[in-house]
Structure 1
Amino acid sequence: MDWTPLPVGVENFREMIEKGYYYVDKTLLIKDLIDLKGKVNLFTRPRRFGKTLNMSMLRYFFEKTEEDRSSLFAGTKIMAAGEKYLREMGRYPVIALSLKSMKQGSYEEAFHCLKEEIAGEYKKHREIIEKLDTEDDREKYELFMNRAADEKEYLTSLKFLSECLYSCYGTGTVILVDEYDVPLENSYFRGFYEKMTDLIRSIFESAFKTNDTLEFAVVTGCLRISKESIFTGLNNLKIISILSESYNEHFGFTGREVHEMLKYYGIQDNEDVVRKWYDGYLFGNTEVYNPWSVINYVDSSYQNKNAFAKPYWSNTSSNSIVRTLVEKADISVRQEIEALIEGKTITKPIHEDITYDEMDSTQDNLWNFLFFTGYLKKISEHMEGETLYVEMAIPNAEVRYIYKNTVLRWFEEKTDKKELTPLYESILNGDRAKMAEILSQNLMETISFYDYQESYYHGFLAGMLKNIGSYIVLSNRESGNGRPDILLKYPSVRGKAVIIEIKVADTYRDLEKKCDEALRQIEEQKYEEALRQEGYSDILKYGVAFYRKECMVK
């Protein structure tokens, strides 16, 4: 069988079909939109869950054009859904806008990208200029097309284009806005959030609220930004979030779709691995896989059908929301993060009407952001009075990897800023009690994941020692190869050398026993002998035992 290419990064529906990529059929989204007749439909899903490809599909289906596009949909589910739906194909003028490019360093740069996007849509419909009723409208149209309109004119630019299209074709306009919240999130972290909010709100209000020529609209993003903030007064807004019961199979891959894909590529034996790493999301009551990661994993099997699973999704974003959670975590939140990484659950009040500037105003808001952006999944839900509570867990191994890596990077940066001279002095002076006290204090400030066992504590201690100054730090993460866990050596043999062996206790009472075991290993493995052969005579030996956030040194 010839290899069918996987659509890694392919977001254009025509390219997907015409170039023969493997396509997971999501065309019944069209049927649901027609049946449910939402006027303004806001879909919120995590990033890389197929939103942009679906928006491209909607454009190619609904867009009025002289071209017959039915061949693009040949063999898809919508073509078998009935004549009622096929009559809608190619019926409406479509305005399709992506705000993804507005992720810029300043408001002015972001606004420039918006002008480029809008100019592109005006150029796409340039054939209507001669059909416009007045010279003023024709001049205004050309100003938008040439990016020369006055700044305030852009607030009503989508509405004006929609009115122009209606006047020429006599049918309502379909407006598609993809990644609407990208400029909002970016402006929050960059410091011009209020100005960007005002801009997006004004554009949406004119395009969706006061626009009699609107047939229907679809807006996508990762988050619903508070109705009062962006969607002011939009009584016709229908929000389809990950908690909603409708449209659930249209974003992300279902278990059946993943099974069929793995079988098609002859790697169905890897289904358990794919489930462990990329499954676990719950949209409404439908369990879905991360499509971006599944596609990348299957693509990696081209050369090796037993390819290892990797965290593909984590590399597509800065994961800044997880970072914010970790940085602002107090003791109770650190314990909750540890519980999540261990595979346990937490229960929090969930509400969708949040804004970016409220993200870290309370800890509960931060959990909300993590939930709606795909870093947590729903296990169960219940109402207490008027508040919805959701029991949540980390969805899968891939997302757990993100938490662990974020925690490790945060700890490394925090350690770089710490004054650890007292720790270094206690090690070099043989003060075991002080050494244990300082290590225990620092463990209390960290976020642990105990499935790492000894390697976690090894990384913790090696990180604490990396700035010890004149000493060479040799860290040996692999056990059983005849070398100590951590070795400190002064560059000259006239200085000191320090041997550190690490053990993990099952209970607090076992700490001393584990310290003795570590010291016994140092003697039995003759770690000291190699140092003496090098010429070192002043050698310190430590057995260090850990139990959760407690440390003992002998």
Structure 2
Amino acid sequence: MNNRFLPIGIQDFEKLRTFNNVYVDKTRYIYELARTSSPYFLSRPRRFGKSLLLSTMEYYFRGKKDLFKGLAIENMEKDWVEYPVVKISFGANSYATHDKLLSVLDDMLNDLETKFGFEKNSEDPAIRLKHLIQSANEKTGKQVVILIDEYDKPILDALYTEYEEQNRQELRSFYSPLKDCDQYIRFLFITGITKVSHVNIFSGLNQLNDISLTQSYSSICGVSESELEKYFMPEIEALAQSQEMSIEETKAKLAQMYDGYHFTHNVEGVYNPFCLLKCFSDKDFGSYWFESGTPSLLVKTLQNQPLELTTIINGRKAKEDQFKNYDPDSKNMLPVIYQSGYLTIKDFDKAKRIYTLDFPNREIEDGFINILLKKFVTVPYDDLGLAIGNLCDALELHDLDKALNIIKSAIA
């Protein structure tokens, strides 16, 4: 354990490998994806390792073979060709206004132009992106790899404000060269929390391959049950000793608290990696996901449409199109709740093609009830004892009628 370091908050693959952090090897997925030139999209909740995945892709396409020693891809990749990489990340800023989005786009494009040695050729971000892609291809003689992280954040930050539509239109324009420059692009990978309708954002990029619910990529982010035992047995043993529990009891408690995410049906459950690492670091079963901040997207949605709370507790039946795509013009909040990580797939009726969605684990269920419902539902302490504790008890006992009555009374 002395030389083992947990990569809490580390999103750069080179830093992770250089400082000997534990790495759950996802490189076989990257190799499989890289074998094609299809543009890909992946939706996952926050704190699920999307940024680290893209960073790993970046160093792979830059041909940094030494960073991948001992990993699956070392023996799978024979050529290690270096490609020009254009990486765009919206995760580090806030985009509450259109001017802020324009400012960040200008800064990002300035950095990329400096990196490749190009001059700014326009004030229009879309024109600059197109010039960047074409010029990088001409300068290196190789097609360009484009990695876009948290593509939807400028929209989500401005949700339900006057700037939402402005930011959406700006991004639609900014992303438009991705279709026109297809001949110059070797690989395109886009991540986000939500899958906003492509009609609104990726106009013309209809061939985008969404792998969010694809069985073969269900564990591309997060830590699967088999990976937990393969990579973290020393941490499990230390946690068990600290909590005065057996190994099996500790594993069961970990599963109860942080496991349970299923991004399609009939697949191995996935642990939230951030919460798992924090638990191992603190040697305590805390509620780390909520402590790191409640997603503004979910808060804004609940504020805008609170009555829909009654439709998501104790299991929700839904068809794929009801939770897969988020339409900003729709009043359906289910995609927001699911894609934010508060619900996950628990069952699937093959004959009817109907999914059952529910809370993935105890941490999320308790957090949703104790934090979000307390924030948005005022429960009266009257003669009937309609307290928040009663609501927790009702859900614990799967007493749906009682839970609904409490919520309806509070928001009436």
Kindly state the Cα deviation for residue 446 of structure 1 after the two structures are TM-superposed. 11
Structure with the larger RCO, 1 or 2 (CA within 8 Å, 6+ apart):
2
SS at match of 2:92: helix
Amino acid at match of 2:295: N
Structure 2 residue aligned with 1:233: 204
Q: From 379, 392, 403, give the equivalent of 2:368.
A: 403
Deviations 1:261-307 (A, max 9, x none): 43122236221111111000012323211111111111113xxxxx2
Q: State the Cα RMSD in Å.
A: 2.9
Structure 1 residue aligned with 2:229: 259
Q: From 273, 276, 279, give the equivalent of 2:259.
A: 279
Kindly state the Cα deviation for residue 39 of structure 1 after the two structures are TM-superposed. 2.0
2:359 counterpart of 1:450: no
Residues 63 and 160 (structure 1), Cα distance of their counterparts in 2 relative to 1, 3 Å cut: same
Question: Identity rate of aligned residues, in percent?
Answer: 24
Deviations 1:154-198 (A, max 9, x none): 113222111111111211101111110111111224431111111
Within 5 A, what are the aligned runs for 1:148-159? 149-150=122-123, 152=124, 154-159=125-130
Matched pairs, number: 386
Is the 2:45–2:339 Cα contact (8 Å) retained in structure 1? yes
Q: From 78, 82, 85, give the equivalent of 1:86.
A: 78
Deviations 1:315-370 (A, max 9, x none): 3333345443477344xx55545xx3xxx322123326644523xx43xx212221
Structure 1 residue aligned with 2:244: none
Residues 187 and 227 (structure 1), Cα distance of their counterparts in 2 relative to 1, 3 Å cut: same
Kindly state the Cα deviation for residue 210 of structure 1 after the two structures are TM-superposed. 3.9
Residues 449 and 43 (structure 1), Cα distance of their counterparts in 2 relative to 1, 3 Å cut: same
Higher strand share: 1
SS at match of 1:250: coil
2:113 counterpart of 1:143: no
2:179 counterpart of 1:208: yes
Structure 2 residue aligned with 1:61: 60
Q: For 2:309 and 2:116, how far apart are their aligned partners in 1?
A: 54
Q: For 2:131 and 2:291, how far apart are their aligned partners in 1?
A: 39
Kindly state the Cα deviation for residue 246 of structure 1 after the two structures are TM-superposed. 2.8
Structure 2 residue aligned with 1:131: none
Within 5 A, what are the aligned runs for 1:455-494? none
Structure 1 residue aligned with 2:41: 42
Is the 2:94–2:154 Cα contact (8 Å) retained in structure 1? yes
Deviations 1:220-257 (A, max 9, x none): 1111111211111113311111x222322221111011
Q: For 2:387 and 2:351, how far apart are their aligned partners in 1?
A: 33
Structure 1 residue aligned with 2:287: 311
Structure 2 residue aligned with 1:170: 141
2:345 counterpart of 1:378: yes
Q: For 1:377 and 1:160, how far apart are their aligned partners in 2?
A: 41
Q: For 2:276 and 2:324, how far apart are their aligned partners in 1?
A: 31
Residues 184 and 447 (structure 1), Cα distance of their counterparts in 2 relative to 1, 3 Å cut: farther
Structure 2 residue aligned with 1:460: none
TM norm structure 1: 0.64
Q: For 1:262 and 1:319, how far apart are their aligned partners in 2?
A: 28
Q: From 108, 112, 117, give the equivalent of 1:117.
A: 108
TM norm structure 2: 0.85
Structure 2 residue aligned with 1:9: 9
Is the 1:95–1:176 Cα contact (8 Å) retained in structure 2? yes
Is the 1:262–1:271 Cα contact (8 Å) retained in structure 2? no
Kindly state the Cα deviation for residue 78 of structure 1 after the two structures are TM-superposed. 0.4
Instruction: Structure 2 unaligned segments of length 5 or more: list them.
Output: 241-246, 397-401
Structure 1 residue aligned with 2:23: 23
Instruction: Structure 1 unaligned segments of length 5 or more: list them.
Output: 127-140, 302-306, 416-422, 424-434, 454-507, 509-547
